Structure 1
Amino acid sequence: MDPFETVPLGGTGVTVTRLGMGLAPIGGLFTPVGDRAARDAVDTAWRLGVRFFDTAPLYGAGLSERRAGAALRGRSAFTLATKVGRRLVPDHHAAEGMWSEPSGASPVWDFSNAGVRRQHRESLDRLGLDRVDILHLHDPDEHFAQALTDALPALVALRREGAIGAVSAGMNQSAMLTEFARTGRFDCFLLAGRYTLLDQSGLRDLLPECERRGIAVICGGVFNSGILADPGRNTTFDYGPARPDIVAKARAMAEVCARHDVPLRAVALQFPLAHPAVVSVVIGMRSAAEAADAAAMAAVEIPGGLWRDLIKSGLLDAGIPVPG
């Protein structure tokens, strides 16, 4: 796979590289990053060929957008995605949950039509840019009705006005995204954690629907929050302790990969791209070292025998799309 190949995002005119940079980590996800390390991470990804970047107001309550904008301003020919659904309000004491660096703001839910337009403008202000290419509805799990009746028309209007290039939604589930796909009003989706070596639930509904409709899918969370990066040391699955059967399966996959002298994280990163609906994989990168590693893993040559061994071992279903 050429991780820096530029491919079209459906019929939108927007393009993405096969490997995208997820910008949640530079918002201080779990541990502080700081402005300098964040800039180094983006600079390294750029130098290696990444031209697709994905951020959100939620990530560090604005820190990710500010740091991304500082690193990307003055550059050209890149694709940037951000998200709507959480509006930031002043809070000078906030730094909570997964976010370790105070930003002076906290997120509140807002999928209203006016709220979406306001969030779009505020994201541009934080980024210091005049445009984002892709705008995702961000985690509307408990807000389906308002997302459909208020937020989606706002996104469609922004696309019609030329303010954005693509209408999308990003979620950790495939069922609601499938319902969104059936409206015929979305260009792409960001599917997190539901099309991976350990969880192919998106293959049951969303991916076939998107393939039929020509909707592009971007896959995130392909390491399922860490276990597929290093199951020997990291047994976190979707941000919680992994069940023993999940740990055992991940370690069995790692053993197959080791027999072929291929890192498991390379296999986990490249696996989703074999599906015809998937155009890009977004990997979170918090440092220059992580950016360099992601680029290296995306470029690893994976022998066909490795995929066959995963299937013969019962670790992947027969008939599932695999690279090559």
Structure 2
Amino acid sequence: MDPFENVELGATGVTVTRLGMGLAPIGGLFSPVGDETAVAAVDEAWRLGVRFFDTAPFYGAGLSERRAGRALRRHDRSRYTLGTKVGRLIRDEASEESEVWTEKSGAVFDFSAAGVRASHEESLRRLGLDRVDVLHLHDPDDHFTEAATQALPALAQLRKEGAVRAVSAGMNQSAMLTEFARTGLLDCVLLAGRYSLLDQSGLADLLPECRRRNIAVIVGGVYNSGVLADPFRPATFDYRPAPPEVVARAQAMARLCDRHGVPLRAAALQFPLAHPAVTSVLVGMRSPEEAADAAAMARVRIPGGLWRDLADAWLLDREIPVPLP
């Protein structure tokens, strides 16, 4: 599968590359990132063929959006797809000199219709662009009623007005995303960490529902926030220190991958794309080196024997779709 092939999100006419760039890291997630390095990471991803970029106001208290805009404004706007999110309003933006994600952003949850429009307008200002293509509800876990009755209809209205081209919701759980999918208002969903080599819980409800409704699934968190990138170093799982049993499982997968000459990162990145509901995977990239690594992992040829060995070792269910060699 060509990681830089353009594929349509549902029936929207919006296209994305199979490999997309998640822009949380250039907002300073986990560790500081300088402005030049952040912009260079976007530039390198572009040079390699990535044409799908996804950010959010919350990432670095506006820092990710500002840096993304600085890099992307130099390119033809018709040649890439950009997503951002609504649901948190930033009331204390990071300074231009910031290099690390700040939790002192004064971020407030707001899934009201007015909050959606305010967030969208503020994102355009930070990005310095006239539009975004995909607008996601961002982590409405504790705000389902307001998100369903106010935010989602407001997003649909923005789509009707032509302000955005695709309406989505992004979460770290599949159950509520499935409920949003059943409203009939979504074009796509962003599922983070729930369809990975370590966690396929999205397969029970969300992926089949999206397949039936022609809702495109974008998968984030393919490394489960770090443990599938390198389980032999202190690692995180779901943004917290990885539990010993999770580390052990990831290490067992890594050893089987080594037998086949395949980096675990490559298997983790490519695995979700085998499901017919999945259109694209987002990989966080904080530097040109990480952008180059993601592109290389997306191109690794993975023999069918690896997937069989993972199933034989009870590390992967035999019925789950896996990439063809």
State the TM-score, normalized to the length of structure 1. 0.96
What does residue 209 of structure 2 align with?
Answer: 209
What does residue 306 of structure 2 align with?
Answer: 306
Q: Given the superposition, is the C-alpha separation of residues 3 and 249 from structure 1 closer, same or farther in structure 2, using an over 3 Å criterion? A: same
Q: Given the superposition, is the C-alpha separation of residues 120 and 91 from structure 1 closer, same or farther in structure 2, using an over 3 Å criterion? A: closer
Looking at structure 2, the residues matched to 211 and 177 of structure 1 have their Cα atoms a distance apart, in angstroms, of: 13
What does residue 134 of structure 2 align with?
Answer: 134
RMSD between aligned residues:
1.7
What does residue 20 of structure 1 align with?
Answer: 20
8 A contact 1:90–1:105 mirrored in 2: yes
8 A contact 1:138–1:171 mirrored in 2: yes
What does residue 86 of structure 1 align with?
Answer: 88
Looking at structure 2, the residues matched to 161 and 277 of structure 1 have their Cα atoms a distance apart, in angstroms, of: 27
Once the 2 structures are TM-superposed, how far is the Cα of residue 102 of structure 1 from its aligned partner?
5.5
Question: Which deviates more from structure 2 when the two are superposed, residues 305-314 or residues 190-199?
Answer: 305-314
Once the 2 structures are TM-superposed, how far is the Cα of residue 35 of structure 1 from its aligned partner?
1.0
What does residue 221 of structure 2 align with?
Answer: 221
Once the 2 structures are TM-superposed, how far is the Cα of residue 100 of structure 1 from its aligned partner?
2.5
Question: Which deviates more from structure 2 when the two are superposed, residues 58-67 or residues 243-252?
Answer: 243-252
What does residue 241 of structure 1 align with?
Answer: 241
What does residue 125 of structure 2 align with?
Answer: 125
State the TM-score, normalized to the length of structure 2. 0.96
What does residue 185 of structure 2 align with?
Answer: 185
Once the 2 structures are TM-superposed, how far is the Cα of residue 273 of structure 1 from its aligned partner?
0.2
Once the 2 structures are TM-superposed, how far is the Cα of residue 104 of structure 1 from its aligned partner?
8.6
Looking at structure 1, the residues matched to 104 and 237 of structure 2 have their Cα atoms a distance apart, in angstroms, of: 30
Looking at structure 1, the residues matched to 238 and 102 of structure 2 have their Cα atoms a distance apart, in angstroms, of: 24
Question: What residue identity is the alignment partner of 2:3?
Answer: P
TM-superposition CA deviations, 1:45-68 (whole Å, max 9, x none): 000000000000000000000000
- SS class of match (2:107): strand
- SS class of match (2:30): coil
Structure 1 unpaired stretches of 5+ = none
Structure 2 unpaired stretches of 5+ = none
Question: What residue identity is the alignment partner of 1:154?
Answer: A
Aligned pairs, how many?
321
What does residue 323 of structure 1 align with?
Answer: 323
Q: Given the superposition, is the C-alpha separation of residues 104 and 194 from structure 1 closer, same or farther in structure 2, using an over 3 Å criterion? A: closer
Q: Given the superposition, is the C-alpha separation of residues 234 and 265 from structure 1 closer, same or farther in structure 2, using an over 3 Å criterion? A: farther
What does residue 100 of structure 1 align with?
Answer: 100
What does residue 293 of structure 1 align with?
Answer: 293
Looking at structure 2, the residues matched to 41 and 243 of structure 1 have their Cα atoms a distance apart, in angstroms, of: 31
Looking at structure 1, the residues matched to 161 and 17 of structure 2 have their Cα atoms a distance apart, in angstroms, of: 25
Q: Given the superposition, is the C-alpha separation of residues 23 and 91 from structure 1 closer, same or farther in structure 2, using an over 3 Å criterion? A: closer
Could you tell me the percent identity over the aligned residues? Answer: 72
Looking at structure 2, the residues matched to 252 and 245 of structure 1 have their Cα atoms a distance apart, in angstroms, of: 11
Q: Given the superposition, is the C-alpha separation of residues 62 and 267 from structure 1 closer, same or farther in structure 2, using an over 3 Å criterion? A: same
